[in-house]
Structures are given as C-alpha cells and as structure tokens.
Amino acid sequence: MIEFIARYWLEVLFGAALSLLGLAYRTLSSRFKQYMKEQDAVKLGIQALLRDRIIQTYNHYSAKGHCPIYGLENAESMYLQYHALGGNGAITKLLEALRELPTEPKEDK
C-alpha cells in the first residue's frame, strides 16, 4: 500500500505542483510585461511634458529678451531630468540659447 502511494500519488502531486508553477509563471510574466509597457508609457509621457515645458520656457524668455537666474535654473533642472529620461537633440540647443540671454532686462535710457 505504501509503495502504491509512493509510486503513483507522489507523481500526481508533483505533476500538479509543476503545472501550478507553470501557470503562475505565465500569469506573472504577462503582468510584468504589461507593467513594463505602462512604465515605458509613463516615462515617455513625462519626457514629453518636460520637453514641452522647456520649449515654453525658451519661448517665454526669448520674447522678453532676458532670462532671470531662477528661470535658467528651472530650465536646467528640467533639462537634467529630461536628459536622464533619454531626451536630447534640439532641446540642448534651446538650453544653450537660454544661457546666452542676459539675466537682467536692458535699461531704457
């Protein structure tokens, strides 16, 4: 009797356990892929928002003809995070142009 249990029921239990582990792996794998897809979308969304804000900052201060220190610091802070998320390109040139603007408005005489 013990030999029967050891021979057949243990095989059934191990088979069921492996099946459950396989099912759990597939479920978790699918959820992990979905989570990673959502994380990529969040990353790209934040990157797009930072890009937009840097462009708005550039347009605002370029129109004024000067960029105060706090505006430049804010733009550089946004650029650091934008760059950390993988952004680059034209935004770098906009930041360089902001750095070249005077920090004080020209005085009219």
pLDDT tens digits for range 56-103: 999 999 999 999 999 999 999 999 999 999 887 889 999 999 999 999
What Å distances lie between residue 33 and 7, 28, 47, CA to CA? Answer: 39, 9, 21
pTM for the complete prediction?
A: 0.72
What Å distances lie between residue 23 and 12, 13, 19, 29, CA to CA? Answer: 16, 15, 6, 10
Which of 26-35, 37-46, 74-83, 96-105 has the lowest average pLDDT?
26-35
Q: pLDDT higher for 42 or 24?
A: 42
The pLDDT of residue 52: 96
> Is the C-alpha dihedral spanning 50, 52, 58, 64 positive or negative?
negative
Mean pLDDT across the chain: 89
Q: How far is CA 57 from the centre of its chain?
A: 21
Across 3-7, 23-27, 45-49, 102-106, which has the greatest mean pLDDT?
45-49
Residue ranges of alpha helices (H) inside 1-109 are 2-4, 10-64, 69-84, 90-100
